Amino acid sequence: MAKQTTEADNELSPRDLAARAAWLSFVGGLTQDQIAAELGISRQRVQRLVARASAEGLVRVRIDHPIADCLTLERQLKARFGLQSAWVAPSLGEGSEPLTGIASFAAPVLERLFLGEKPRTIGLGTGRTLRMVIEHMQPVDGSRHKLVSLIGNVAPDGSASFFEVIMRLAEKVGAPHYQMAIPVAARTASELELFRSLPHVHAARTLASSADLAIVGIGQMDDNAPLLVDGFITREDHAELKAAGAVGEMLGHIFNGDGVYLDHPVNHRMVGVRVPTRSMSVLCVAGGTSKLLPLKAALTGKLMHGLITDETTARKLLKD
């Protein structure tokens, strides 16, 4: 006897059907029997479809319940460091990767920023953290805003930065975007002058300097410093900077334990924009043990106005 073909089979591809089954399960709260009746398929097939949706990354879980301890930490961070805003993601437990929890938690925060009706110019840093956050974002209509890079996106060997985020975010929010298609740092003062004189670089830097909001990560200056590992500074530069008191960097610009940018030749060669500028608000997304020292310094120096971090990092930042 031939298998009966249902309306759902005719109209939906297997992937579409999996997405619909997952939606009815996780969002609609229907039982598997109810989903089977709704879609005109068997209960066993519902199980397979929901499993497929999860396996293919179609299901992303968000918990919107406010967790009291995290809300308390947010208030304490704002009071202690004079922040305008703070968001603290619940800890995933000992030994877990903080970035995993931060990325899924920060994604809806950024989505809400782009849902604002007032057009804004939003400057962007680069890095592993921001890239992962954007991967967790859902598409939203942010076409009324502008996106602009705050930092160059070319490595010393001429390759594109692996953790560039502006194009990926532009795809998610549908906003016009302006890249800073230059190296992160110039090798000499004359090269810096040349880079900054290029019309497209001058235009991008001008727009970036006037951004209403900067969304950035933060880098440490230990032996695993991103600037060193990615080849933007030499080991000699790194040793000199450490001797001068360097503990962290934001957009390639290096600061000391008081959150003061160093007067050092390496800082003078950075091509991008140093934040904050003028009335720009800076939102930093960071967490984890390696980020504690640079975060504490940047908070002390008032280099940011908002912070998205995890519960463990927040507790350590508040502990003297």
Across 37-46, 49-58, 83-92, 138-147, which has the greatest mean pLDDT? 138-147
> For 219, how many CA atoms within 13 A lie in the half-sphere containing its CB?
22
From the centroid of its chain, how far is CA 142?
16
Looking at the chain, the domain(s) classified CATH 3.40.50.1360 span: 68-318
Of the listed ranges 7-16, 79-88, 172-181, the least confidently predicted one is 7-16
More confident residue, 109 or 95: 109
Average pLDDT of the residues of the chain: 89
> Residue 276: is the preceding peptide bond cis (ω within 30°)?
yes
pLDDT at 2 over 60: no
> 129 near 295, Cβ under 8 Å?
no
- Per-residue pLDDT, averaged over 276-297, amounts to 95
Looking at the chain, the domain(s) classified CATH 1.10.10.10 span: 7-55
Which is nearest to 18 in space by CA: 44, 62, 56?
A: 56
Tokens, residue 100: 């995993």
Tens of pLDDT along 186-217?
Answer: 989 999 999 999 999 999 999 999 999 999 99
**Virtual torsion, Cα 169, 120, 252, 266, nearest 10 deg:** 140
Residue 145: predicted pLDDT: 98
* C-alpha distances in Å from residue 151, one per residue of 34, 187, 235, 273: 52, 15, 22, 6
More confident residue, 255 or 71: 255
Q: The dihedral of CA 120, 126, 128, 129: what is its sign?
A: negative
Of the listed ranges 120-134, 156-170, 235-249, 303-317, the least confidently predicted one is 156-170
Unique residue bearing structure tokens 């800073």: 180
Sheet holding 219-220, edge to edge: 219-220, 246-250, 253-256
Domain 68-318 in CATH 3.40.50.261: no
More confident residue, 65 or 230: 230
* C-alpha distances in Å from residue 78, one per residue of 90, 220, 248, 313: 17, 23, 21, 14
Contacts of 96 (CB under 8 A, 6+ apart): none
Report the Cα–Cα distance between both ends of the chain, in Å, rounded.
75
Residue 10: predicted pLDDT: 41
3-state secondary structure of 159: coil
* C-alpha distances in Å from residue 30, one per residue of 37, 47, 60, 290: 10, 12, 17, 43
Tokens, residue 292: 């504690």
- Quote the CA–CA distance of 247 and 234 in Å, as a whole number: 16
- Quote the CA–CA distance of 62 and 145 in Å, as a whole number: 26
More confident residue, 131 or 67: 131
Q: What is the CATH number of domain 7-55?
A: 1.10.10.10
